[in-house]
Structure 1
């Protein structure tokens, strides 16, 4: 059973009645009725947003909505939730598909998914907030008993959050995925052959990244999940966000994962277990979020909601060094992405002169993405609950449509591969 999409164009966060004579888009409801509309072209531009492009003609959003519908027709697609923000306000909100294939339970804007590695930016923000309160110094080294590094070296909290520990990339991840104990795997990191000294190069980590959980907990005087809820989720207005798979299962509406390997005799996707090895590293990959949470998160990081202090945003969104291996991984986008870096749990892209703050995440059967351009208040957020290549190419499609710098044919090329 395919559940129809909830689509809102020109949606405001506040549920206010439409102004007299204002144009409002038709809504097909597959979830709660959503109200409150604005003409996003008339939004005041915050004083801290410079070089705002002329986005008065938003025809590209209608074209992009059609591409979202195309993704929903694909055999592997189960559920998809997407929002586009302009000048810090949502102008397109799209929720389609099912929590679990064949059940008819619809994806809504409050359906909770796994954020996967998008969690890292939330952890970085938590620690930056604690730093502004004088509870922790991110320039202090992580104690060796929490993060033993090769040759007796130490990395600062900042270096861990910025993926500059000097360890080989993804150290211990495969062993963890095979069932290895995270604490034991972390205790063995000191025996690795280093890629560089701490701070000298970018190498992506999950197990090492998780070492900051204890530091955050001690600084906040709370367990990590409660600290995240108290300092980040409640502050930002992420009302359905949580940490860990047990909390996911307690959500009123939550999306089940659908993996390529899990299909019935007719090829129909079957729901799998949401548990993953990465729940042992909550700071790195275990946050749960809905589309509404992601909209609130994007607005906070853009600075438009006012929920996060400007020094915190600057702290986490500053690149602490290039990430050349990530640039190489994005070779299909080499005509657009000139270089990449890494902040405190955030990637920083130079996309044809547009400075984007971003992160993507994948856990078996789940995908998550966020892209933001703080200078203009533009953002894109997406969540889905199935394996498949198409959702990953939605943002390049949107960016081509928005900027006119490309043919926006990524989904077409995907079909040709």
Structure 2
């Protein structure tokens, strides 16, 4: 029943003459009308929050109709991003020999204003990358685990400062320190282990839960919480935490508690979910003249460390949620917990030395990197697994940022994040993408993993 219908019904009930005071039927009728009115108001509120319905409302999502008219959003009076320049530079990038396919999304002032695919899903074909093409996120997936654990903590179901041993029956650390190392230490890569512990064994097919038990045979490089060393096997202890608290497999818990409510309909965590999609990008170890390589399985078996697949549209929605635009799903307190520095990452400054002109500090929260770029706090992550690369970077205060997915092993597109940030901050442009025909320092590679062929950054 519409609002006007409820009002008419209420009017008829109230105007009906009564003798001897208010009758019980009238009271009952009024109660029913009030219940109906409350239901209509609730339903209308729910509808207003549905992803992509109202382009002006604060929130996440974008409808197919809005994607078709996305250039209208780029003309907004509050826009400072030159989308035409971005498009021209991405056209130049995709022409590089090292590129095969690429998808890019930009959020400005909380609104998705750019979604576009470039190149092809497989070298030697004319199958174009589009906004509905699936790619792998690789280690950008780590932010999902950080958010989910923080969400559960915000709901009072655990504390990230409790020992990881309380929630993970599998993880064993040197000297029994799993009884002291916290959930936050796992999510900030500060367990005290050497970097990428047992990634090589994971890639050889070993069971990740078995490997988490074998971590006890290694030597510590520092006490828990005192230094940062990137992990995948140990990081997937987050899956154990989520499964114990929710009683569901990790992918199911994420689908029901995060992806579903956000309207991320393409996001999944399996090899099958990637290769059966109507459009999916094949991985390439080389560029335009290479052949696709096999979609590898190991990092799907540590889903919190590197298991997510999605379209660029859903990755853009994910970034919107990190900006606080979906508080019913991810509360401000949960986001603050994951986006606050917990451990310094000086090695990251070394890897990002190309950008040191404006990049002054780097640290790690829980599944997220935090930088000071030209005096602004920016949050993000990069990812790399065999044949795929990914990035997300945003300014949480400006609710603006960029996401990208591509299906080759070049790191050149990584400069895009800083070209977008420079526009946001009205800084003098730099050729961070390296497409101006001049010699440009190589982009920082994802952190080396195992044998270097198929790891998740």
| Structure 1 runs of 4+ with >6 Å offset | 15-18
Give the CA deviation at 1:310. Answer: 1.1
Residues 228-237 or 126-135, more deviating: 126-135
Instruction: Write 1 or 2 for the structure with the bigger share of helix.
Output: 2
Secondary structure (helix, strand or coil) at the match of 2:103 reads strand
| C-alpha spacing 1:338/1:239, structure 2 compared with 1 (3 Å) | same
Other-structure match for 1:131: 153
Other-structure match for 1:48: none
Aligned-partner Cα distance in 1 for 2:259–2:79: 32
Aligned-partner Cα distance in 2 for 1:304–1:38: 21
Matching of residue 244 in structure 1 with residue 273 in structure 2: no
Match of 1:198 among 221, 224, 238: 224
Other-structure match for 2:439: 416
Q: Which runs of 5+ in 1 are unaligned?
A: 1-12, 19-28, 44-54
Give the CA deviation at 1:42. Answer: 4.8
> Residues 131-210 of structure 1: matches in 2 within 5 Å?
131-143=153-165, 145-154=169-178, 155-210=181-236
Other-structure match for 1:324: 346
Asked if the contact 2:392/2:417 (under 8 Å) is kept, the reply is no
Give the CA deviation at 1:237. Answer: 1.6
Matching of residue 35 in structure 1 with residue 69 in structure 2: yes
Secondary structure (helix, strand or coil) at the match of 1:222 reads coil
Q: Deviations over 1:292-335 (max 9, x none)?
A: 11111011111124442111111111111211121222111111
> Residues 49-64 of structure 1: matches in 2 within 5 Å?
56-58=79-81, 60-64=82-86
Match of 1:93 among 70, 91, 115: 115
Q: Which runs of 5+ in 2 are unaligned?
A: 1-50, 57-63, 441-457
Aligned-partner Cα distance in 2 for 1:415–1:385: 24
Aligned-partner Cα distance in 1 for 2:188–2:437: 32
Secondary structure (helix, strand or coil) at the match of 1:345 reads coil
Give the CA deviation at 1:76. Answer: 2.5
| C-alpha spacing 1:371/1:33, structure 2 compared with 1 (3 Å) | closer
Aligned-partner Cα distance in 2 for 1:251–1:71: 26
Asked if the contact 1:236/1:308 (under 8 Å) is kept, the reply is no
Secondary structure (helix, strand or coil) at the match of 2:344 reads coil
TM-score scaled by length of structure 2: 0.77
Asked if the contact 1:401/1:408 (under 8 Å) is kept, the reply is no
Aligned-partner Cα distance in 2 for 1:57–1:356: 17
Q: Deviations over 1:379-416 (max 9, x none)?
A: 10001111223212222233334434344213147852
Q: Deviations over 1:9-36 (max 9, x none)?
A: xxxx847799xxxxxxxxxx9xx97236
| C-alpha spacing 1:414/1:149, structure 2 compared with 1 (3 Å) | farther
> Residues 304-323 of structure 1: matches in 2 within 5 Å?
304-306=325-327, 307-323=329-345
Aligned-partner Cα distance in 1 for 2:320–2:294: 32
TM-score scaled by length of structure 1: 0.84
Aligned-partner Cα distance in 2 for 1:390–1:62: 20
